[in-house]
Structures are given as structure tokens and as C-alpha cells.
Structure 1
């Protein structure tokens, strides 16, 4: 098996020893992987182009090019150092394998406190490493460095399509280019897609319900359903805590054991809804309609509306046996013909509330405000012990 040493064309450093096998194409492929270039041509030490692998001998020294002509490594380095302008303000950066040619003043003047300025303000202060062609090596992303260099050239932030602003921002921070970093932060913020606060539609919610296993707990806390038509849907056990259900159509919906704690139900229509065991603590149902609702659970689970805002609600004909309306606000509400047997109304504001035709047997009205309340045609007479205010 033959072995040869290969160098990048024009250099005599960082060579690689490789085995010779197969065809010339195979050897070029190995050189590509070893040297990190796209190997196209092979030359011997005298610059002769090798076009047949049979011409290669054991321990030969070969030079690999990407298609350019042969450069003698000794003469090429000398010529590069002696060329006009070699020691001028111009310099070349090798950023992640990609070459950028610029001037020292470009890197220093615009952002004098940046890392690049400190690296190139005085020669060899940082001991900057160079590749075989004299370009200064910096191991960063060339894609994100290009807009940074352009900014240092003309002071404008110009980003080509498809370039990630976050990547450029990270590079700007790395190089300590603070003014550019501030501009990028503003640009990123302006490009952010605004949050969608639009209400969830019936179609979207039904799709969501169908895609969720029946035994899974549905969490809809804080979601916006404002004005949605959710009528006649099975919404049992769903957590609507702090959700926006204002002006929703919930007629004949099944909300059995659902959690509506601190939810906004203002102006909603819940006529005929099943509210057995519902939790509506501190919810806001001002101006809502709850005609003919059923809060009465045969199993004994009582609906809890403690502290709820029920100003002006219409709950006519609702079944509310054992309901907890403690310290709730029912000012100007309509509760005609409601079944409120055993209900807890202690501390409840019932001012100007219409309770005519209600069954308040064993209801707790201690501390409630019944100023202006209507108690006509009661099914059972109120006992003095039921109200102390």
C-alpha cells in the first residue's frame, strides 16, 4: 500500500498522510475530507499535473488545488508578503472558513470599544492567529458576521432575507458592538408576531373537544370565548376558571360540575343550562340570563356561587335547592318561582330582588340585605329566624 503526504496548494504546513488506493477520484475525495477543501487537481513538487494514479509513488509529496494553477509553496509565501499593499491598512479575516477583506480602520473606528477594535487596533496585541494565506482566523459564523461587517462599514443595519436576527444579535454581543445590538433588539421586537387574543369560535372549540379523550381533564383557564355560541354542548367537568365567557350563548349547555370560578359571564345567556354541582365562586355574571337552570344535583353535590356577582340576572324558574349564594350580589335580580329550599343566602345582597313565588323553606337568610326585595306569593312563609336584617 502506497502512502503520500498532501498539502493545500501553495502551502507546506498542516499536511496530511493518506493511503493511495482505487482511482484518482478516490484520492481526491480523501484529500477533500482531510484538508477541508474541494479537491480538484493534484500536483507534484515541481508543479506537474497528475492525471493518472499510476504516476504516484510511495512517499510522494503532493499539492491539492481547488482548480487553481500550481503555486510553489516557497515562492508563493514570499510573493504574498512582497506584493504591493501587503502591509497597508487592508487585511483579510477568515471567519469560519469564509474570507472577508476589509480595512483595519473599518474594524476600529465605528465601535472603538468592541472586541474587533481591540484585536486590530495595534498589530499583534492579541496574538491573532493567521491561516496559511495570512488571513486572521476567527471561529464564528460567517453568515451572521457579514451584516456586522457591513454595519461597521456604513453604519446601517441591513439583513438579507433568510438571515436569523437572533443569530446576528448573538454575534453582535460576542464582538461587543453595543449600538448594533440595541438596533437588533428593537428589530426583533418589531418582527414578533402579536399575540392572538381573538375569541375562540364554536368550530374551534368543538374540534378541540373531539380531539380530547373523554377521561382527560380539559383546562380552559383564562381562555377567551367572548360572544361564542356554545349552546347545547357537553361541557361537564371543564375548568373555565378565569375564562372570558361574556355574552356567550350557553343555552341548554351541560355545565355539570364545571369550574367557573372567577369567570366572566356578564351578559351571557345560560337559559335552561344544567349547572348541577357547578363552581362559580366570585364569578361575574352581571346581567346574565339563567332562566330555568338546574342547579340541583340528586347526588347531593351542591352548586357553589359564593361571592358571585349576579346583579340584574334573570334566574326565573331555576331549581336551586341547597345552592350556596353566601355573600353573593343579587341586587335587582329576578328569582321568581325559584326553588331555593335549604339555600345559603347568608350575607347576600338581595336589594330590590324579585323573589315572588319562591320556595325559601329552610333557606339561610341571616345577615342578608333584603331592602326593597319582593316576597309576594311565597310558597312557604318566611320564619323570623331566617332573616335578621
Structure 2
């Protein structure tokens, strides 16, 4: 069974999809019923008269003429005004073409692909009628190796200028297709749509429960990278935080009492107002750490292996606040 789209001769709207069964007379009978006319002739998109049903291919676009005698047609062609009408109709229908996008066919006009976005890749692909060579399927449709689901909203945009995406279609996929085909105005709309559909950035501090979950999910052989994360006010007391990378993390007001931070990287981290009382800081890296107002009482900086904690550039306020840090402490 073949499926075709039928239009009344001279128009390109209110088409009807019909199945081709039997003879040409059977098709004319179906066309008469669907289009509400007395169908007499069938033409292809190039204006050629079809006199054998075997010449019709699946997904063809056909134009149905009402009953008219050959003498009437010849009279029309002798009349300059009517002859121009026939010429315009033939020109219009030459403009119709079919795209095979990822195995799915779309019927549209060359002007649709060219007019809306004249500088796009699609416009350049179809502005000239002979640039495709043999890149067509057996039915003559132009082959395009892209996603049909993402292409459909783009084609509809070129038809009527509105961005409409059906439910279940990812706007991000449509955006990538719009960028691929160089349809800039549509890409801008899609970028706005994609951005608005994404959840807002969550900058809220991590809780103890969330962080413990991260710890349990990370093997002891893997580095847990927490640089730049927000732990403001978090309770991390008595946790094993050895060798964790807290570089540039926000630990302001965090509770790190009796936590094991041996070998941890706290470079440029914000430890202001944090409590590190009794924490193990053997071999910790605290280069340029902000420890203003932090409590470091009874911290263990001594390492039997001789590795010293590095507190270079730490905020001086920490030294004033914590008399337990004496010149004899093994700091560098």
C-alpha cells in the first residue's frame, strides 16, 4: 500500500492523505470524495500528468484537477491571463520537496527552508536545486542524517515562526539541532528556554548527614575532592577527614572539634569562627587559610614522622585568639 498527499489543483493547503489502492480511477474516486471535487486528472509536483497508477510512489504529493475538457484547457492556455495562472501553479509545485530525516519523511517547500533564515545551513542546502546529486533515498527524498524528533520543531518554526515543542521532547536536543543547522534566532529562544527549565543553583551549605553519605560512598583509596564547597556551620566533629581536599572551601563557623584532619588540604579555605579544638592537624596544609576568630585549642600538630603542618600566610587573628599556639610548636 502506498500513501500519498492530495491537494486540489492550484492550491497547497487543506491537503488530504489517502491510500492508493487498485487503479488510477480508484484513486480519482477517493480524491473526489476527500477533496469534494469531480476529480479528473492527477499531476505530480513538476506538473507532469500521471496516467498510470504504477508511477505513483509512497509519500508522493499529488495535485488533483477537476473535470475539464482538453479543449477548455487549450483555450485557457491561449488566454495570456489564464496561461500565467497555469505557469504560476507549475512553479509553485516545483517548490515542493520531501526530506528523509533519520528515516522519517517530512514534506515541505523550498521557500520554507530558505526564506525564514536565509543564512542558515538549511537555506544554503536547498537554495540551489542541484547541489544534492545522488544523496536521495529510492523515493527521491533528500537524505539528512539527523534526529527527526528534534528536527520537527525546527521545521515548524520555519513554517510559522513559532517555537512549539511537544511533550517528551528535550529542548536541549532541539537546541543542538538549531545550532547544527545555523538557525540563530531559534537557537537564542531555545537557550533561554533551556536555561529557564533548569533548577536554580543550590548554594546551601552541606549538612553532616549529606557529607557522611559522601564519605561512605568513597573508597579509602580515592581522593575526596571538596574544594570550593560550602560547609558553613556544618557539624563535622569527630569525623575522619584525613587527606580530604578542602582547598578554597567555606568552613566558616563549622564544628571540627576532635576531627582527624591529618594531611588534609585547607589552602585558602575559610575557617573563620570555626572550632577545631582537639583536632588532629598533623601534616595539614593551611597556606593562606583564613582562620580569623577560629578556635584551635589543644590541636595536635606533632607528627612522629616529622611531617610539619604548613600554616604560612594564615590570618594573624588566629594566633592572637589561641595562646596554645606557642613559638615552640612545630609549624612552618
For normalisation by structure 1, the TM-score amounts to: 0.56
Provide the residue aligned with 2:311 in structure 1: 305
Specify which of 164, 172, 185 is matched with residue 170 of structure 2. 164
Cα separation, 2, equivalents of 1:276 and 1:80 = 80
Deviation at 1:128, TM superposition (A): 7.7
217, 221, 225: which one pairs with 2:231? 225
Residue in structure 2 matched with residue 323 of structure 1 by the alignment? 330
Larger Rg: 1
Corresponding residue to 2:100 among 82, 95, 98: 95
Number of corresponding residues = 264
Corresponding residue of 1:67: none
Matches of 1:198 and 1:120, distance apart in 2: 51
Hey, what does 1:183 align to over in structure 2?
189
Q: Deviations over 1:123-143 (max 9, x none)?
A: 546558666656555444322
The higher relative CO (CA closer than 8 Å, separation ≥ 6) is in 2
Q: 1:124 to 1:258 in 2, by over 3 A?
A: closer
Displacement after TM superposition at 1:189 (Å): 3.5
Contact 2:97 2:110 in 1 (8 A): no
Change (3 A) 1:152 1:225: same
Instruction: Report the aligned-residue RMSD.
Output: 3.9
The correspondence of residues 135-150 of structure 1 with structure 2, limited to 5 A, is 135-150=141-156
Separation of aligned partners in 1, 2:191 and 2:143: 28
Structure 2: runs of 5+ lacking an equivalent:
4-20, 23-50, 66-88
Determine if contact 1:271/1:291 at 8 Å carries over to the other structure: yes
For the structure 1 residues 256 and 113, does the alpha-carbon distance in structure 2 shift closer, same or farther, using more than 3 Å as the test? Answer: closer
Counterpart of 1:288 (choices 284, 288, 294) is: 294
1:138 and 1:162 map into 2 onto residues whose CA distance is: 23
SS at structure 2 position matched to 1:100: strand
In structure 2, relative to structure 1, the CA distance for the partners of 1:114 and 1:298 (3 Å cut) is closer
Q: Distance in 1 between matches of 2:122 and 2:305?
A: 76
For the residue of structure 2 that corresponds to 1:171, the secondary structure is: helix
| Structure 2 CA distance for partners of 1:87 and 1:131, relative to 1, 3 Å | farther
The yes-or-no answer on 1:212 pairing with 2:218 is yes
Q: How many angstroms apart in 2 are the aligned matches of 1:233 and 1:92? A: 68
2: distance between equivalents of 1:82 and 1:207? 67
What are the superposed Cα offsets for residues 259-288 of structure 1, whole Å, 9 maximum, x if unpaired? 322221011011222323333222110011
1:93, 1:138 within 8 Å by CA — same for their partners in 2? no
Q: Which moved more, 1:216-225 or 1:229-238?
A: 216-225
Give the Å deviation of 1:231. 1.1
Counterpart position of 2:159: 153
Name the counterpart of 2:36: none
Query: In the aligned structure 2, how far is the partner of 1:124 from the partner of 1:290?
Result: 79
In 2, Cα distance between equivalents of 1:81 and 1:117: 25
Residue 314 (1) aligns with residue 321 (2): yes
Q: Deviations over 1:321-350 (max 9, x none)?
A: 43326xxxxxxxxxxxxxxxxxxxxxxxxx
Which is richer in helix? 2
Question: 1:176-225 CA deviation, whole Å, 9 max, x = no partner?
Answer: 32322333333334434444333221112222223333454443333221
Change (3 A) 1:320 1:243: farther
> Do the aligned partners of 2:100 and 2:141 also contact (CA within 8 Å) in 1?
no
Distance 2:141 2:326 in 1: 86
Bigger drift between 102-111 and 261-270 goes to 102-111
Runs of 4+ off more than 6 Å: 79-82
Cross-structure match for 1:373: none
CA distance in 2, matches of 1:179, 1:139: 23
Say if 1:223 and 1:243, in contact at 8 Å, map to a contact too.
Answer: yes
Name the structure 1 match of 2:259.
253
Aligned: 1:244 with 2:250: yes
TM-superposed CA distance for 1:161, in Å, is 2.1
Mark the runs of 5 or more structure 1 residues left unpaired by the alignment: 1-7, 11-41, 44-70, 326-389
Q: For residues 22-33 of structure 1, what are the structure 2 equivalents within 5 Å?
A: none
